[in-house]
Chain A
Amino acid sequence: MDNRFDVELVSVTKRYGTTLAVDGISLRIPRGTYCCLLGPSGCGKTTTLRMIAGHEAVSDGDILIHGENVSDLPPIKRGTAMMFQSYALFPHMSCLDNVAFSLKMRGVAKKERHAKAREYLDLVHMGGFAERLPAQLSGGQQQRIALARALINRPRVLLLDEPLSALDPFLRIKVREELKRLQRELGITFIHVTHSQDEAMALADLMVVMEDGHIRQAAHPREVFERPVSPFIAKFIGSHNVLRLNQGPVAVRADRCRLGSAEDGPHVHGQVVAVEYQGSMVRVAVKTDAGDEVSALVPDQMFYRKPAEPGDPATLVWAEQDTHALVEA
């Protein structure tokens, strides 16, 4: 049977007592997709991931993997593997034994499982660390071991719970590239939970923005960035100004805004509250007369031709086609 979707969520709900953590979400993840679940803390993204993994029971609804209903199956029967936020490496086992653990559970003989584990250690460039204990490795190295351990069962779906949050910013970008490369090479679906929109933008084929246990928008990052559906999405994605105009709420990208005068087109009046030099761009924060905080990302050359100081009156202008209407939340 040819399944067009790796993972399907059918009105999946999670209740803890009377509180709803996840409220009837539905989502289809096509084959071989890098999917990012994105949202502020407490939005239900981790709970959703844990339900797909089988570490949390669904209260209502169904989860399908490759067209098969897995809602009541234990993790190992789902064809998923999870990489935990804390990596959860077994501290009393060598890296080799950590990676080989699931093979051991399947009863694979020692020699065979160690050979296989070495293959996967090589895949994550950790071949030289087989005999070390996890505590003797850096955070980034531990993560590679965790990745190898998750991949050795050849999962159909790899689940990653905030995999980059414990790394320093430089490493984060490097590991990010590597995750994407690995996903492309293996051709399986990755579901990656994050609260960082940069991370989601850089990685995702499918970006799922969640809030309050609901999916607010699920699309390619470019679609989400260029056509956010609601003020919440526009604000959460960042680099957007959300304005209340006569026709309703609109979003205008900050890099499409300029300081100018009322004749130039759509505009709002206000006062400069801050100027931040960011290298190639200068961010000018403006408080509008209506009280909204907005900003313009102006190329440095353009800004220094006509600089502004905090306290100056300012008019934020943009082109008509950059006005993007939002649905009132």
Chain B
Amino acid sequence: MNSAGLISILPFALRGRPVTEPGKRRRTRLPSWLVSWFQVGPLALILVVLFALPTCLFLVVSFYDYDRMGIYPAFLLDNYRELFTTRATWRVYASSLKFAVIVWAITLFLGFNISYFLIFHVRGAVVRTVLFLLCAIPFWTSGIIRTIAWIPFLGRNGAFNQILMGLGIASHPLTFLLFSDFSVIVTYVHLFTLLMIGPIANSLSKIDPALMEAAVDAGASRWRTMVDIVIPLSKTGITLGSILVFTQVMGDYFVVRQMSGGQSASIVSMLSTQIQAMEYPPASANAMVLVIFVAILVAAMMKVVDVRKELVK
């Protein structure tokens, strides 16, 4: 093969620069600072317009005065004082946090084990893809529909109770199944387990299986291999999944309203009640507290695992 033929099969990056017209290509290039701005620009614009500006607006409004007729510019701390001195606020935060911790623990357990199975036990690439799709396809329907779909299943005369009674396991319908903390948690777990599977499976897939063999070679049990090798190497995925699940549960509105039967409230539903009552300044204060609370939680998780450092690797 002649040299021209050889060059044409090389990827572009490996070819030498053409020796002709040395200065011409450079002049047609955009300056590098402009290229960087074009790359960062779209996301920055979306974040500024849809997140930073509204947040600033809420921050300002949260200090305003209000009555039944409207809101009035002011700098009052009353909205915050009221929020923190109401028992309902603490109760709602405690209840949301309780749901978040329980759901986090369950989705972490499920997500880690499912991911581990998919990455290390499923040999064929086709089978693995099919199983991943089985996890993902339910997410093509809306979360609202998937939430409501639990109602006929868990209800008093629902499919699950009928199965239990049909098999003779229960003599009368179980009532705790629906409109309870139980049904809220079941729905959350169903909705959010995939958020754990994705990042954890991604981390696990980067682990060289030879590392686990090397651990076994050195006398590690299955459990020690897990604790000393697999979990430390997948902590980025675990952290990312945890952040996703935590923020989803803390920001939830629909599931608690539909599935708790009015027995629990969420932070956002409290907020929406205030908005419906046209109490915008307290709602803004409430939103600010939620944002700061979630930000502190996420920051704490990032502190444990430096996700940015791990992602660059």
Tell me the nearest residue of chain B to A56, going by C-beta.
B213
Interface string of B210-245 (1 = CB under 8 A from A): 110111111111001000110011000000000000
A86 contacts B210, CB within 8 Å? Answer: yes
Cβ 8 A contact of A55, one of B217, B224, B228, B229: B217
Are the C-beta atoms of A106 and B219 separated by less than 8 Å? yes
Chain B residues positioned under 8 Å from A149 (CB to CB) = 214, 218
Contact status A82-B224, CB under 8 Å:
no
Cβ–Cβ contact A101 & B218, under 8 A: yes
Q: 1/0 per residue B185-212: CB within 8 Å of A?
A: 0000000000000000000000010110
Number of chain A residues close to chain B: CB under 8 A:
25
Find out whether the CB atom of A102 lies under 8 angstroms from the CB atom of B218. Answer: yes
Cα A59 to Cα B181 with chains together (Å)? 52
Count B-side interface residues using an 8 Å CB cutoff: 17
A81, B217: Cβ atoms closer than 8 Å? yes
Interchain CB contact (< 8 A) of B208 among A55, A75, A86, A92: A86
List of A residues within 8 angstroms of B216 by Cβ: 55, 74-76
Q: How far is the CA of A54 from the CA of B216 in the complex (A)?
A: 10
A49-79: CB near B (< 8 Å → 1, else 0) gives 0000111000000000000000000111000
Q: How far is the CB of A103 from chain B (nearest CB, A)?
A: 9
Contact indicator per residue, chain B 227-271, by CB within 8 Å of chain A (1) or not (0): 011001100000000000000000000000000000000000000
A88 part of interface (Cβ distance < 8 Å): yes
Residue from A76, A89, A92, A104 in contact with B217 in the complex, judged by beta carbons closer than 8 Å: A76
Quick one: given A90-B229, A92-B233, A105-B224, are A84 and B218 in contact (CB under 8 Å)? no
Q: Which residues of B contact A88 (CB under 8 A)?
A: 208, 210-211, 213-214
Asked if A196 CB lies within 8 Å of chain B CBs, one says no
The reply to whether B232 and A92 form a contact with Cβ atoms under 8 Å apart is yes
Interface contact B210-A84, CB-CB below 8 Å: yes
Asked if residues B214 and A90 are in contact (CB atoms below 8 Å), the reply is yes
Question: Does chain B have a CB within 8 A of A153?
Answer: yes
Asked if A84 and B233 make an inter-chain contact with CB atoms under 8 angstroms apart, the answer reads no
Smallest Cβ distance from B208 to chain A, in angstroms? 6
Most buried by B among A55, A105, A106: A105
Across-interface contacts of B221 in A (CB, < 8 A): 105
Compute how far the CA of A106 lies from the CA of B220 in the bound complex, rounded to whole angstroms. Answer: 8
Knowing A86-B208, A92-B232, the reply to whether A105 touches B213 (Cβ < 8 A) is no
A to B CB contacts below 8 Å, 19 in the list: A53-B217, A55-B213, A55-B217, A74-B216, A75-B219, A81-B217, A82-B217, A84-B213, A86-B210, A89-B214, A90-B211, A101-B220, A101-B228, A102-B219, A104-B228, A105-B215, A105-B218, A106-B219, A153-B219
Given known contacts A86-B208, A105-B215, what 15 new A-B pairs fall within 8 Å (CB)?
A53-B217, A55-B213, A84-B213, A88-B214, A89-B214, A90-B214, A91-B211, A91-B233, A101-B220, A104-B228, A105-B218, A105-B220, A105-B221, A149-B214, A150-B217
Mark B residues whose CB is within 8 Å of A.
Answer: 208, 210-211, 213-221, 224, 228-229, 232-233
What 6 pairs across the A-B complex have the smallest Cβ distances?
A: A102-B218, A76-B219, A88-B214, A88-B210, A105-B219, A75-B217
